[in-house]
Amino acid sequence: MAALCVEESIYNLLPHIAAKSFKEPRYVSTFKPYVKRTIEQSKAPWKTIGPPKVQVPSPKDFLQKHSKEPKLPKREKDQEGKKMRESNVPRRSDHPIMGVQSTKNFISTNAANVIMGVAKKPLPVCVDRRQGDKFILETSGLVPKYLKKKDYGLTPKYVTKRSEDVKRAQEEYDAYVKETLRQKAMKRLSDEERESLIEGLKKNWEEVHHEFQSLSVEIDTIPKKLHKERLETQMKQLEHDIQTIEKHRVIYIANK
């Protein structure tokens, strides 16, 4: 029990002041007015409060029979209609002048045209059998009218143009091949170039031979053996080239 007792002190006699809890201000978004305004604009009054308050239709305005059918205009009085018809239609005693008057006798003119005119020739027709149907001969396909065309038997223009195009393409290809062969044709070495080439090969052989003679007498390492084999190979190749050029008097070189 002695362990649970509070230690006696003079400070325990002082009154204890309760510490006030500090509460931070609530977070308010800067977009709150914009969101509130957007919601108010998109909200309709009947979505939350019910149907809108509109004027109730009157019971007297009910749907009647034949009320939606189209109605003809009212007929005018008979007297006004008679007066209008009488004013529009001429009388028997009236002789109105209509159009341009002419003194030409159309009956005698038409008779003279028929007498002096050439009789109309009937269209040539064909019949498939004795009591069969009759067809116009021109559109039946039996008349060789294509033989009478001006361009019958002549080569069409598109065929001639295609032949010319093929011929021109072949000529261009032949010219290209000829030019390519001319550029890649082999060139013959002159005597001066042949002699200078032989002298250059001999000079190279002397340089390689001098380097070969300068090797040490004892070759006991791998690099020395490889170097000796490389010099021997170069000397054999140069000797072969010199013999080949000296053997042939005419030498051609292909152009790249």
Residue 242 within any structural domain of the chain: yes
Who wins on pLDDT, 80 or 158? 158
SS percent in the chain: helix, strand, coil, step 5:
45, 5, 50
Distance CA 168, CA 176 (A): 12
Write the pLDDT tens digit of every residue in 120-145: 888 888 888 888 788 888 888 788 87
Write the pLDDT tens digit of every residue in 14-48: 888 887 888 888 898 999 999 998 888 877 665 65
150 three-class SS: coil
Residue 228 within any structural domain of the chain: yes
Looking at the DSSP bridge assignments, the partners of residue 254 are 186
Token representation of residue 65: 């029979």
* Res. 4: pLDDT tops 70: no
- The pLDDT of 47-56, averaged and rounded, is 70
Residue 99 within any structural domain of the chain: no
| The pLDDT value given to residue 1 | 45
Residue 3 within any structural domain of the chain: no
| The pLDDT value given to residue 152 | 83
| The pLDDT value given to residue 132 | 79
pTM of the model: 0.32
pLDDT bucket at 77, cuts 50 / 70 / 90:
low
Length of the chain: 256
Domain region containing 209: 189-254
Residue 162 within any structural domain of the chain: no
Which residue shows structure tokens 């325990």?
Answer: 12
Give the CB-side neighbour count of residue 240, counting CA atoms within 13 A: 6
**For the chain, how many structural domains are there in total?**
1
Write the pLDDT tens digit of every residue in 169-198: 999 999 998 888 777 777 778 888 888 888
Residue 240 within any structural domain of the chain: yes
**137 contacts 125 by C-beta, under 8 angstroms:** yes
Q: How many CB atoms lie within 10 A of CB 193?
A: 13
**242 contacts 208 by C-beta, under 8 angstroms:** no
| The pLDDT value given to residue 170 | 93
Residue 239 within any structural domain of the chain: yes
- Classify residue 227 as exposed, middle or buried by CB count within 10 Å of its CB (0-12, 13-18, 19+): middle
- In whole numbers, what is the pLDDT of the chain averaged over residues? 82
Alpha helices in 184-252 (DSSP H): 191-213, 222-247
Q: How many CB atoms lie within 10 A of CB 238?
A: 19
Distance CA 201, CA 245 (A): 10
Residue 102 within any structural domain of the chain: no
| The pLDDT value given to residue 187 | 76
187 three-class SS: strand
Distance CA 87, CA 80 (A): 11
Q: Give Cβ neighbours of residue 189 (< 8 Å, ≥ 6 apart).
A: 197, 251, 252, 253
* Res. 254: pLDDT tops 80: no
